[in-house]
Chains A and B, each alone.
Chain A
């Protein structure tokens, strides 16, 4: 396994611009998660997919945020009309099966977003 891969690792954008992050999960992992981590805080859940179905979205995910996983493999997280408060690290994770049954969730190294 090559691990969970995220791209880009760093992004600086001007307020009001749109940004898109990509996540490639570990091969054959059917569950994919997005979390957001701001400086000095723990990660906060945003959304997760089982295969291509988006099963849950946090209230943190405003209308400006959209996530997709079109073929049940890679996923994208788009932020429209970015605001300075969107500056954070966006973490992707994947697992095979449910965590509650003992499976492990693996995190990527994250995509840092800075909105100026």
Chain B
């Protein structure tokens, strides 16, 4: 079945540092890919998405490019802020057999210090 491997956390950075959170997946076909963010005490929020190979999703300074050849969707941000502290989840969309479910990774906790 589909699966996701995310970079192990926690990740601790200083404000304005560069962020990369790696995500690779195994899936049948070429699924849509998503990054979700979960701030402390809150539910999941969509951060960005890409629906086909070579697409780049972007939002709030975060970017991720759909790399079909490496089955990866790494999340990057050039300059993180304290307010970016959260848990980040990579999730391909499984649509086998007419189903539609997100397959989440374990999440990567990011802490940004002032």
Closest CB-CB distance, B41 to chain A, in whole Å?
8
A72 within 8 A of B: no
Partner of B101, one of A33, A102, A104, A109: A33
Of the four ranges (under 10, 10 to 19, 20 to 34, 35 or more), the interface on chain B belongs to 20 to 34
Cβ-defined partner of A102 (8 Å) among B44, B45, B51, B105:
B51
CB proximity of B105 to chain A, nearest CB, Å: 5
Decide: B46 and A99 in contact? CB cutoff 8 A.
no
Is A91 touching B44 in the complex (CB atoms < 8 A)? yes
Q: In the assembled complex, which residues on chain A have CB atoms less than 8 Å from the CB atom of B93?
A: 99-100
Are A43 and B44 in contact (CB-based, < 8 A)? yes
Contact of B106 with A100 in the complex, beta carbons under 8 Å: no
| Residue from A41, A100, A108 in contact with B43 in the complex, judged by beta carbons closer than 8 Å | A108
Q: How far is the CA of A55 from the CA of B91 in the complex (A)?
A: 21
Residue A27 interfacial (CB < 8 Å): no
User: Is B69 an interface position by the 8 A CB rule?
Assistant: no
Q: Is B104 an interface residue (CB 8 A)?
A: yes
Q: How many A-B residue pairs have CB under 8 A?
A: 56
Tell me the complex Cα distance, A4–B42, Å: 12
User: At the interface, yes or no: A85 with Cβ under 8 Å from chain B?
Assistant: no
Q: Indicate if A25 sits at the interface (CB-CB under 8 A).
A: no
Which residues on the B side are within 8 Å of A105 (C-beta)?
A: 46, 102
Contact B101 A107 (CB under 8 A): no
Known: A40-B106, A42-B105. A99 touches B44 (CB 8 A): no
Say whether A99 contacts B32, CB under 8 Å: yes
CB pair A41–B101 under 8 Å, yes or no, is: no
The CA of A98 and the CA of B107, in the complex, are separated in Å by 24
Q: Find out whether the CB atom of B95 lies under 8 angstroms from the CB atom of A104.
A: no
* Contacting residue for B100 out of A4, A40, A98, A110, CB 8 A: A98
Any chain A CB within 8 A of the CB of B99?
yes
A-side interface residues toward B, CB under 8 Å? Answer: 4, 31, 33, 35, 40-45, 48, 55-56, 91, 93, 98-100, 102, 104-110
